[in-house]
Amino acid sequence: MQDNTSDRPPDSSSAPLGDTQSGTPSNESVDQFVQLFAKHQRRVHAYIGAVLPSRNDADDVMQETSIALWRKWSSFDQSREFLPWACGVAHIEVLRHRRKYATQRVYFNENLMQDIAEEVLAQSEIAELRSEALVACLRRLNEADRQLVEQRYGGGVTALKAAEQLGRPPSTVYKALARIRRGLLDCVRRRISPELRG
């Protein structure tokens, strides 16, 4: 099990990184990056989403983080773990974004961002269990709620836009989504608690 969870690229000591300056990275380099990024991108996204509650901000920073990771990939020390490095890059992008728009928007202060980051880290211990539980809980939604979730999240639109598309008052959609999210969290907690206690 441990062998399968190593973050190091296979044969990283001999694999050339390729010429990223010229925009023609080697296949090996691309493969290594793709594998590691694929494995960890959801966690990076979760981290950004927690410190930047605005969806547009989080999306922008996830974009910038993806770009930054690729740009810096050639200098990544492959004897190190990928996820801490990726989260470190994400954190820098969060701070850059916050500094850039600080006069236009309100953000959490840096202390709270740090606290949130630590909490995300602490909870990541059971992140996989949560994800598995969430899939099961989504399957238990009734048809109306499932449609609303699909409209809102699967459609990649805001709750306001989803309300327009469904022809329902925004306040009604907000309340329904809040209820569904809370119900999903309760469901996830119930499903993972026995395993945590075991």
Partner 1 sequence: MNKPKDSADRTFQPAADRELVRLVNACCDDHATDGDIRRLEERLSNDPEALAWYVEQIGVHTSLDWSVTAQDAALAASVLNLETPFSQRSRPRGRERRYGREAIGYALLAVCASLVGIALTGWALQQRSAPSEAQLAARVPTAKITHPTDGARWVVLCSNSRPDGMRTDVFPNETVHLTSGQMRIDFEQGAEVTLTGPAVLQVLAPDRAVAVRGKLTAVVSEEAIGFAIDTPRAHVVDLGTRFGVEVDDLGQTDVVVFEGEVDIAYGPIEQRSNDWSRRVMRMGEAVRVDDLGAAQRIVSIPSERFAAAAPSDAPLVEPVIADIRDNIRGDQSWNYYEVVRAGLREDALAYVDRESHEWNGFDERGLPAYLLGADYVKMFNNDKVQSDYELSVTVARPALLFVLFDDRVPPPEWLVRDFTDTGDDVGMDRGRFRNLGGTMNESFASGVGPGVSIEDRLSVWVRRVEKPSSVLLGATQTPHNRLNMYGIAAVPLLD
Q: Provide the minimum distance between the beta carbon of 10 and partner 1 in the complex, in angstroms, as a whole number.
A: 15
Contact 166, 151 (CB under 8 A): yes
191 binds partner 1, rule: CB under 8 A: no
Q: Provide the minimum distance between the beta carbon of 111 and partner 1 in the complex, in angstroms, as a whole number.
A: 7
Residues 45-104 that bind partner 1 (CB under 8 A): 45-46, 49-50, 53-56, 58-60, 62-63, 66-67, 69-72, 74-75, 77, 79-81, 83-84, 88, 91-92, 95
164 binds partner 1, rule: CB under 8 A: no
Name the nearest CA neighbour of 5 among 59, 83, 86.
83
120 binds partner 1, rule: CB under 8 A: yes
Place of tokens 């296949």: 27
Measured between its terminal Cα atoms, the distance across the chain in Å is 20
Of 106 and 167, CB closest to partner 1: 106
The count of C-alpha atoms lying within 13 angstroms of the C-alpha of 58, restricted to the half-sphere facing its C-beta, is 15
The count of C-alpha atoms lying within 13 angstroms of the C-alpha of 124, restricted to the half-sphere facing its C-beta, is 17
197 binds partner 1, rule: CB under 8 A: yes
142 binds partner 1, rule: CB under 8 A: no
Residues 1-40 that bind partner 1 (CB under 8 A): 1-2, 5-7, 23, 25, 30, 33-35, 37-39
Q: Provide the minimum distance between the beta carbon of 127 and partner 1 in the complex, in angstroms, as a whole number.
A: 8
Distance CA 20, CA 29 (A): 9
Single-letter code of the amino acid located at 44: V
Distance CA 155, CA 153 (A): 5
* Residue count, binding to partner 1 (CB under 8 A): 100
